[in-house]
Amino acid sequence: MEKSRYIAIEGPIGVGKSSLAELLAEQLGGRTLLEEVEENPFIPRFYNDIKKYAFQTQLFFLLSRYQQQKDMFQQELFNATVISDYLFAKDRIFAYLNLDENELGLYEQVYRLLDTRIPKPDLVIYLQASTEILLDRINIRNLDYEKSIKEEYLEKLVDAYNRYFFYYNDTPLLVVNTTEIDFVNNPADLTNLVREIKNMKGGAQHYIPLAAK
């Protein structure tokens, strides 16, 4: 497909979004736009008590993501390719998973005000992995605020992501199953994935690679 100026990478916690964003920026001569997860003061408490802290956590993420995207466009960073480790629209995945009815109504009012002001990516890459693989990767990176993540929550999140992207048609979409590959430690896996990205023809495509030997 024509060169993508703005690529967003998505997928559940631990799937490797930030790592791939940084690698693709190097490969494609672009720059990264990385979500500032650790800047959210509610995250450590959220995983210990999701119901109590869901709304504060969600609203903080929504507003900080919007501000980050707004700043990016004001600075005209699109003179170069931009690789983001999140899709602004995915914020609603977490909202519908974690908020109660009253919170969701208020959230939607704010979301609709902001969403129309954010340009859509030229390409979205959705990284998939099983819950078991995600838990392994989360344990390996050993972040303090992720140690309270429960397997049950992660399973619900994986299902929510799969449902969202099953119906997604806002932009070209490349779905990548990462179960058998390691694009961080295996250069051949990364090379194959970059080739797949460059060969995108639009619409939705699925890439189910085997590990490079």
Between CA 57 and CA 43 the distance in angstroms is 6
Between CA 3 and CA 7 the distance in angstroms is 10
Residue type, 112: R
Q: How far is CA 50 from the centre of its chain?
A: 20
- Domains, the chain, in order of start with CATH, read 6-207 (3.40.50.300)
Token pair of 90, please? 């995915």
164-198: pLDDT as tens digits: 999 999 999 999 999 888 888 899 999 999 999 98
pLDDT-derived band at 79, boundaries 50, 70, 90: low
Token pair of 135, please? 């838990």
| pLDDT for 213 | 47
Catalytic residue selected from 71, 85, 122, 189: 85
Contact call for residues 31 and 81 (beta carbons, < 8 A): yes
Least confident of 112-116, 123-127, 155-159: 112-116
Residue 76, pLDDT > 60, answer no
In the chain, DSSP finds a helix count (H) and a strand count (E) of 8, 6
85 has catalytic annotation: yes
Rama region for 42: left / alpha / beta (φ>0; ψ in -120 to 50; rest): alpha
Q: How far is CA 75 from the centre of its chain?
A: 22
